[in-house]
């Protein structure tokens, strides 16, 4: 079978959730689709929006599960089974309230950290051994109840920073495709500096 990679962005479908912090995963795969000039299609058998790109590294399938966040594993599990995909060729992009806005962190495996989308994927795959790219969205305070923050829209200032974050995260995904996980982690993990100098660029 051809070399195939699966990149899943987690989020909630529907206009009311567009551009909310919880949809950072959706935002990332949309940046990649725009960068690679590929179109989205609804594929009911996978309960997902799918975009496919033919790249030098192989075929890349971008996925936005349409199951709502808590059931993301239904879509991911169906795709992994259909493509008989080895888990090292899967990466899941997800928002993370435990990371500050401006930080990204790619890891080869790990726990769900209480994220219901990752919990669902782990349940359906029967494994934690898949890469996850966490996109920091921060917290307003230390309360555990953060639904309002997570499901809230980004402010104008946050949107500008998020665009830089997503560009860096997209670069990280492309490095993962070309050079593997270790180089992608060492080169891009960390905090994006929102410097005044950057703000002054024309």
Q: Which structural domain range is residue 110 located in? A: 4-197
Q: Which is more confident, 5 or 111?
A: 5
| Whole-number pLDDT of residue 146 | 59
Residue 83 — φ and ψ, nearest 5°?
-90, 0
- What is the domain-level CATH number for residue 19? 3.40.50.1470
In a domain, 202, yes or no: no
Q: How many domains does the chain have?
A: 1
Q: Is the pLDDT of residue 17 over 70?
A: yes
In a domain, 24, yes or no: yes
**Tens-digit pLDDT profile for residues 94-153:** 998 888 888 999 999 988 877 888 999 999 999 999 999 999 988 765 555 555 566 667
pLDDT at 189: 95
User: For position 201, what pLDDT does the model report?
Assistant: 35
Q: How far apart are the first and last CA of the chain?
A: 46
State the catalytic residue, choosing from 22, 115, 116, 149.
Answer: 22
Q: Which pLDDT score, from 0 to 100, does residue 197 have?
A: 37
Task: Answer whether 61's CB lies under 8 Å from 97's CB.
Answer: no
Residue 46 lies in a domain: yes
pLDDT for position 16? 83
Query: For position 199, what pLDDT does the model report?
Result: 37
Does residue 8 belong to any structural domain of this protein?
yes
What tens digit of pLDDT does each residue of 66-98 get? 998 899 999 999 999 999 999 999 999 999 888
Q: Is 149 assigned a catalytic role?
A: no
């Amino acid at each position: 079978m051809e070399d195939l990679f699966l990149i899943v962005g987690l989020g909630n479908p529907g206009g009311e959730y567009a551009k909310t912090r919880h949809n950072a995963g959706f935002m990332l795969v949309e940046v990649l689709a725009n960068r690679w000039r590929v179109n989205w299609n609804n594929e009911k058998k996978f309960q997902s929006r799918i975009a496919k790109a033919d790249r030098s590294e192989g075929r890349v399938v971008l996925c936005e599960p349409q199951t709502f966040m808590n059931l993301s594993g239904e879509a991911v599990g169906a795709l992994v089974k259909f493509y008989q995909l080895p888990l090292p060729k899967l990466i899941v992009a997800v928002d993370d309230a435990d990371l500050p806005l401006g930080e990204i962190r790619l890891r080869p495996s790990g726990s769900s950290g209480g994220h219901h989308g990752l919990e669902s994927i782990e349940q359906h795959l029967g494994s934690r051994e898949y890469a996850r790219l966490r996109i920091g969205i921060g917290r307003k305070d230390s309360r555990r109840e953060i639904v309002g923050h997570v499901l809230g829209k980004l402010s104008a200032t946050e949107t500008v920073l998020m665009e830089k974050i997503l560009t860096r995260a997209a670069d990280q995904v492309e490095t993962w495709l070309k050079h593997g996980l270790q180089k992608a982690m060492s080169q891009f993990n960390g905090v994006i500096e929102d410097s005044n100098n950057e703000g002054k660029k024309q």
